[in-house]
């Protein structure tokens, strides 16, 4: 690929992730009121989000390997089409069980889209450019998640289901653009250990991931995802219950946090990686995220809630591309498998975290934030111990 075609590919990949995250963000402000129409609340929301993560967890390793053998493009297009269909189904649901199935299918779409996109970025960047590429990808995700809630709060004025239909529309449009414009990257493989991994099922692949040099990063991804899921799952419910925030209020808080995240990932993240290294960025921001989460339920008033939520969002914004970059650098020539494992462990954390967060929220609305903070500090301890033991040169 020429330098120009690589730039075009990166822009399309960023656009795809922007659309996917915007589609997810669109529905967040309306979820409390939408679920109320089914007569359910915190526990149901936790299990609905866990259904999405379960779909990701089951299909991510398979999708990562398929992206190595079939090519990144076809997996990305399929992922967007599946995601579009699931959003349409969610908006048309008439029974609670349909919500769970729709989100599970949405997770399958994410499983096809995210690992292939991450592997695509690894394919078209050098090791020196990898952090910048992952940072741009993360920035597009944050931008989508920033604009999505704002649009969702606005579209909810039409109807509670309208944001779901719009998410379906933009995802299918993105699939069409990707099919037409995105270059096809198909990795040439020989009969190696990686080929053997392709023929093995998901559980065996998870077992094989223990032997990889980036396994501890995968554990960190799991624990980290588990921790932040407590916030992501219960935030809208928390401010709805405690402060009676409207979908528009929730949209403003999420939008500001996402906007700061975009600025950081676009202008700062690559400089931080080069100056301090990805590991230090991970360690510092795990602590910042834990502290902000622990103080969240202590603050009162819209502006303080906005401030703490923005600090938490910014910290997690820096952690994600740092971890992704470390995994990619250590993965060598098995980028698809590594990206699939990355997404699988993240999905596993996102599956367990929301399910428990919803249960704990129904017991005490403050407990998910306390538990999430503890989990993030555990993640910090695991990372620090790994660094001291291995002293990895990343």
The CATH number linked to 312 is 1.20.1250.20
Note whether residue 152 is domain-resident. Answer: yes
Domain for residue 192, yes or no? no
Say yes or no: 5 and 127 in one domain. Answer: yes
Kindly state whether residues 366 and 293 are assigned to the same domain.
yes
In which band, very low, low, confident or very high, does the pLDDT at 363 lie, cut at 50, 70 and 90? confident
Domain presence at residue 193:
no
Asked if the model's pLDDT at residue 315 lies above 80, the reply is yes
Q: What is the rounded CA–CA span in Å between residue 256 and residue 216? A: 33
- Residue 269: inside a domain: yes
- pTM, rounded to two decimals: 0.67
Cα-based distances in Å from 370 to 228, 294, 302: 11, 5, 20
Residues 312 and 244 in one domain: yes
What domain range includes position 308? 201-393
Task: For residues 152 and 92, state if they share a domain.
Answer: yes
Q: Going by C-beta distance under 8 Å and a sequence separation of 6 or more, which residues neighbour residue 86? A: 102, 103, 105, 106, 108, 109
165 and 207 housed in the same domain = no
Report, as an integer, the average pLDDT of 36-60: 75
Rounded to the nearest 10 degrees, how much is the dihedral formed by the CA atoms of 75, 123, 3, 114?
40
Q: What is the pLDDT of residues 278-309, one digit of tens each?
A: 889 989 999 998 898 888 778 888 888 889 88
Q: Which residues, including other chains, have CB under 8 Å from residue 4's CB and lie 6 or more apart?
A: none
Name the pLDDT band for 191 (thresholds 50, 70, 90).
Answer: very low
**In 244-371, beta strands by DSSP E:** none
- The C-alpha atoms of residue 281 and residue 166 are separated, in whole angstroms, by 36
Same domain flag for 111 and 151:
yes
Domain co-membership, 145 together with 266: no
Contacts of 55 (CB under 8 A, 6+ apart): 103, 104, 105, 106, 107, 108, 109, 110, 111, 347
Q: In terms of domains, do 169 and 221 share one?
A: no
Q: Indicate if 86 and 225 belong to the same structural domain.
A: no
Residues 207 and 152 in one domain: no
Of 183, 215, 232, the residue that ends a domain is: 183
Give percent above pLDDT 90 in the chain. Answer: 7
Considering only 202-206, 290-294, 368-372, which range has the smallest mean pLDDT?
202-206
210 with 144, same domain?
A: no
**Four-CA torsion 130, 135, 140, 142, nearest 10 degrees:** 150
For residues 216 and 119, the answer to whether their CB atoms sit within 8 Å is no
Please give the Cα distance from 135 to 113 (Å, whole number).
17
- Among 183, 215, 246, where does a domain finish? 183
Residue 190 lies in a domain: no
Question: Does residue 192 register a pLDDT over 50?
Answer: no
pLDDT at residue 93 is higher than 50: yes
Distance CA 245, CA 31 (A): 12
pLDDT at 20: 77
Q: With the C-alpha atoms ordered 372, 376, 379, 385, is the resulting torsion angle positive or negative?
A: negative
Compute and round to an integer the Cα radius of gyration of the chain. 19
pLDDT, mean of residues 103-115: 87
**In contact, 60 and 344? CB cutoff 8 Å:** yes
Which two three-digit tokens encode residue 261? 């995240």
Among residues 148, 183, 218, the one where a domain terminates is 183
Residue 259 falls inside a structural domain: yes
Number of domains in the chain: 2
* In a shared domain, residues 326 and 361: yes
**Does residue 95 fall inside a structural domain?**
yes
- What rounded mean pLDDT belongs to the chain? 79
Please provide the DSSP assignment of 227-271 as one string.
Answer: HHHHHHHHHHHHHHHHH---HHHHHHHHHHHHHHHHHHHHHTHHH
End-to-end CA gap in the chain: 26
Structure confidence at residue 193 as a pLDDT band (50, 70, 90): very low
278 domain-assigned: yes
């Amino acid at each position: 690929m020429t330098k120009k075609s690589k730039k075009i590919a990166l822009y399309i990949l960023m656009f795809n992730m922007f659309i996917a995250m915007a589609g997810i963000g669109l529905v967040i402000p309306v979820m409390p009121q939408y679920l109320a129409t089914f007569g359910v609340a915190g526990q149901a929301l936790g299990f609905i989000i866990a259904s999405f993560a379960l779909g990701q967890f089951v299909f991510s390793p398979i999708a990562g390997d398929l992206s190595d053998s079939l090519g990144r493009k076809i997996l990305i297009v399929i992922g967007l089409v599946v995601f579009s269909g699931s959003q349409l189904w969610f908006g048309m649901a008439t029974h609670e069980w349909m919500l769970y199935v729709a989100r599970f299918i949405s997770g399958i779409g994410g499983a096809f889209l995210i690992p292939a996109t991450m592997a695509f970025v690894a394919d078209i960047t050098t090791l020196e450019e990898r952090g910048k590429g992952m940072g741009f990808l993360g920035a597009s995700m944050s931008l989508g998640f920033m604009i999505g809630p704002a649009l969702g709060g606005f579209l909810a004025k039409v109807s509670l289901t309208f944001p779901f239909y719009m998410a379906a529309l933009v995802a299918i449009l993105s699939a069409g653009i990707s099919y037409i414009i995105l270059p096809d990257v198909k990795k040439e493989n020989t009969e190696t250990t990686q080929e053997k991994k392709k023929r093995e099922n998901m559980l065996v692949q998870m077992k094989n991931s223990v032997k990889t040099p980036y396994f501890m990063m995968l554990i960190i991804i799991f624990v980290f995802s588990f921790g932040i899921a407590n916030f992501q799952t219960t935030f809208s419910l928390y401010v709805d219950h405690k402060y009676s925030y409207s979908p528009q209020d929730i949209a403003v808080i999420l939008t500001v946090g996402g906007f700061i995240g975009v600025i950081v990932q676009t202008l700062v993240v690559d400089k931080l990686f080069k100056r301090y290294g990805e590991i230090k960025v991970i360690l510092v921001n795990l602590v910042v995220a834990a502290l902000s989460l622990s103080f969240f339920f202590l603050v009162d008033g819209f502006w303080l809630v906005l401030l703490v939520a923005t600090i938490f969002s910014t910290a997690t914004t820096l952690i994600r591309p740092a971890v992704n970059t470390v995994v990619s650098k250590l993965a060598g020539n098995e980028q698809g498998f590594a990206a699939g494992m990355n997404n699988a462990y993240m999905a596993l954390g996102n599956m367990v975290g929301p399910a428990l967060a919803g249960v704990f929220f129904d017991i005490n609305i403050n407990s998910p934030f306390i538990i999430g903070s503890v989990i993030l500090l555990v993640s910090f301890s695991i990372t620090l111990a790994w660094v001291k033991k291995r002293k990895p040169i990343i």
